[in-house]
């Protein structure tokens, strides 16, 4: 089936005229029509626009103008502004918002010929690890437990809609954003490759902000090669984003074939969680063995401030969210609830427009930034953040990359862990530190747990050394031979 092709296979098939871009796009649109009512992976499906883009791709291919993604159907997380297509950020407050401009990342994908199928569901304003906080309903993970196939599992968050869409064959690849693990954790939960590049590698311009110093746009795909192809198009310097790095974009796809012979791979001793299933730890040990067999040297390293990562993150991120979300006041754009005066209008609009998790984080952020608490909380958290970055800098003086597990658990069911915010926050235990440090990281599907659910391994690299991350990830992918498929998928 066309929906089972990888991006690399689709690219080659389109250029060889084995099928058309319209064929490929229609196959995915039919799959969305069949499965999205259940999975709820898409908030908006751009049927007519996608067909028009596919026809334009076929015309470009006929004229010999084959770009890296010409005719490849992708899903776009509903955090990226898309000109003329509704962008909600998973929130009621942005329900009617239709951007008059295109984000830099999506503009780059369109420049390279991609077809946009629609906008995917997500935790509201990217705040969550389960995709249960979306104002447009939860997303269902297409994977099922072997022992209990009636339980509805979460796809992870916040980019759960993107992950579910790619896993279920409702898109060939997708964009996501990673603020504390929101690409890598859903990738692990859905059996995908998810890449968080170095901070500044992909422009944040036109991406609805959660925490500006932590937000990282990146790709989801079903293979390491596909994720490298997508990142090659998404990345690049953008003068409209002051945090965008003026560095060249390497050939990430070529890096996938480099191998790991002679590389030193660090194993951080702090990446063990109390109560972590033994099978996840066993998979980590297996991953270490795969890299050793491929010629890498395994080195024990320490990242001593890892234990402070979550506490630091949940001060810095809400503080930045409190500031960023102050713009949603019912006056400039988005939904509005009229009030007796301006203050009442603000209060009514924000109370009705924001969900409980967003309100919780805005309150925390406002508190830690308030007079009398700024030094005690926010300033101290920034100092710890510097120490976390120093941990990575010291480790990378000895090794070329790090190998850890991605998440402390396999996907859990809707309703599990939901009544305890702290338990939910622990899902980001192994992913948050690399956001605080701004270093690149990727999750690669490496095996199944006892319930037949996917488990990912995480590769963390030096700043702007995504090439090594892809090289290590490709070796893990080949050694793992992960071929398991989710229960709910196009043609399944």
Q: Can you give the pLDDT of all 492 residues of the chain as single tens digits?
A: 999 999 999 999 999 999 999 999 999 999 999 999 999 999 999 999 999 999 999 999 999 999 999 999 999 999 999 999 999 999 999 999 999 999 999 999 999 999 999 999 999 999 999 999 999 999 999 999 998 888 999 999 999 999 999 999 999 999 999 999 999 999 999 999 999 999 999 999 999 999 999 999 999 999 999 999 999 999 999 999 999 999 999 999 999 999 999 999 999 999 987 778 889 999 999 999 999 999 999 999 999 999 999 999 999 999 999 999 999 988 877 788 888 888 888 888 898 889 999 999 999 999 999 988 899 999 999 999 999 999 999 999 999 999 999 998 899 999 876 666 656 656 788 999 999 999 999 999 999 999 999 999 999 999 999 999 999 999 999 999 999 999 999 987
Contact predicate 161/139, CB 8 Å: yes
* Contact call for residues 208 and 81 (beta carbons, < 8 A): yes
Contacts of 441 (CB under 8 A, 6+ apart): 184, 195, 196, 431, 434, 458, 459, 460, 461, 469
Tell me the three state secondary structure of residue 55.
helix
Q: Which residue has the tokens 């490298």?
A: 228
155 belongs to a structural domain: yes
Active site residues per annotation: 77, 158, 182
| Burial bucket for residue 1 (CB in 10 Å: 0-12, 13-18, 19+) | exposed
Say whether 89 sits in a helix, a strand or coil. coil
281 inside domain: no
Residue 56 and residue 51: Cα distance in Å, rounded?
9
User: Helix H segments across 96-144?
Assistant: 104-111
Under 8 Å between Cβ of 204 and 179: no
Kindly state whether residue 300 falls inside one of the protein's structural domains: no
Decide if 158 is inside a domain.
yes
CA 338 to chain CA centroid, nearest Å: 36
Q: Could you tell me the strand order of the sheet in which 42-45 lies?
A: 42-45, 115-120, 73-77, 173-178, 216-221, 193-196, 441-448, 454-461, 401-405, 264-268, 297-301
Q: Position of tokens 């962008």?
A: 87
Backbone angles phi, psi at 184, to 5 degrees: -70, -40
Q: Which of 53, 73, 72 is nearest to 14 (CA)?
A: 72
The CATH number of the domain holding residue 163 is 3.90.1300.10
Question: Can you tell me the distance from the alpha carbon of 477 to that of 483, in angstroms, rounded to the nearest whole number?
Answer: 10
Residue 72 belongs to some domain of the structure: yes
Query: In b/e form, how buried is each residue of 435-454, taking b as 16+ CB within 10 angstroms?
Result: bbbbbbbbbbbbbbbebebb
Sign of the Cα pseudo-torsion (92, 151, 149, 406, in order):
positive
Instruction: Provide the sign of the torsion angle of the four alpha carbons 305, 307, 313, 314, taken in this order.
Output: negative
Residue 382 tokens, joined: 């920034």
DSSP-derived letter for residue 387 is H
CB 427 within 8 A of CB 129: yes
Closest CA to 389 of 428, 461, 438: 438
- Structural domain contains residue 271: no
Provide the terminal-to-terminal Cα distance of the chain, rounded to the nearest Å.
10
- For 244, how many CA atoms within 13 A lie in the half-sphere containing its CB? 21
What whole-number distance in Å separates Cα of residue 196 and Cα of residue 177?
8
The tally of domains found in the chain comes to: 1
CB 176 within 8 A of CB 220: yes
Global model pTM greater than 0.85: yes
Residue 449 lies in a domain: yes
Note whether residue 68 is domain-resident: yes
Task: Note whether 196 and 176 are within 8 A (CB).
Answer: no
Provide the residue range defining the domain that includes 108.
2-263+398-480
């Amino acid at each position: 089936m066309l929906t089972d092709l990888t991006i690399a296979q689709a690219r080659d098939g389109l250029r060889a005229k084995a099928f058309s871009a319209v064929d490929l796009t229609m196959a995915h649109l039919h799959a969305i029509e069949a499965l999205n009512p259940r999975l709820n992976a898409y908030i908006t499906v751009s049927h007519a626009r996608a067909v028009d883009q596919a026809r334009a791709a076929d015309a470009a291919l006929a004229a010999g103008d084959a770009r890296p993604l010409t005719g490849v159907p992708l899903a776009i997380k509903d955090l990226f502004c898309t000109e003329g297509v509704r962008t909600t950020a998973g929130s009621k407050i942005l329900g009617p918002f239709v951007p008059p401009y295109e984000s830099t990342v999506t503009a780059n994908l369109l420049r390279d010929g991609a077809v946009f199928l629609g906008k995917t569901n997500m935790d509201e304003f990217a705040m969550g690890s389960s995709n249960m906080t979306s104002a447009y309903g939860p997303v269902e993970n297409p994977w099922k437990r072997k022992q209990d196939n009636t339980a509805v599992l979460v796809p992870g968050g916040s980019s759960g809609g993107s992950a579910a869409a790619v896993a279920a064959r409702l898109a060939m690849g997708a964009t996501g954003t990673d603020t504390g693990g929101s690409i890598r954790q859903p990738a692990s939960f859905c059996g995908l490759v998810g890449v968080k590049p170095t901070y500044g590698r992909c422009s944040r311009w036109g991406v609805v902000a959660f925490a500006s110093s932590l937000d990282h746009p990146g790709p989801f795909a079903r293979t390491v090669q596909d994720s490298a192809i997508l990142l090659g198009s998404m990345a690049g310097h953008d003068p409209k984003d002051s945090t965008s790095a003026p560095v060249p974009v390497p050939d990430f796809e070529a890096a996938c074939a480099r191998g790991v012979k002679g590389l030193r791979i660090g194993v951080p001793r702090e990446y063990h969680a109390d109560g972590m299933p033994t099978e996840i730890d066993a998979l980590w040990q297996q991953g270490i063995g795969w890299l050793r067999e491929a010629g890498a040297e395994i080195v024990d390293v320490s990242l001593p401030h890892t234990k402070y990562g979550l506490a630091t993150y949940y001060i810095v991120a809400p503080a930045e969210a409190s500031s960023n979300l102050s713009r949603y006041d019912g006056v400039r754009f988005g939904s509005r609830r009229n009030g007796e005066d301006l203050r009442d209008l603000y209060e009514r609009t924000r109370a009705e427009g924001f969900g409980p998790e967003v309100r919780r984080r805005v309150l925390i952020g406002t508190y830690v930034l308030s007079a009398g608490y700024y030094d005690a909380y926010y300033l101290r958290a920034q100092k710890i953040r510097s120490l976390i970055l120093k941990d990575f800098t010291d480790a990378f003086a000895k090794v070329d990359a790090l190998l850890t597990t991605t998440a402390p658990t396999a996907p859990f069911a809707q309703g599990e862990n939901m009544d305890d915010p702290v338990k939910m926050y622990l899902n980001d235990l192994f992913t948050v530190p690399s956001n605080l440090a701004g270093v690149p990281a990727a999750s690669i599907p490496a095996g199944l747990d006892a319930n037949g659910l996917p488990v990912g391994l995480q590769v963390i690299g030096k700043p702007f050394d995504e090439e090594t991350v892809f090289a290590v990830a490709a070796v893990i992918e080949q050694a793992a031979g992960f071929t398991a498929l989710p229960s709910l998928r196009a043609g399944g």
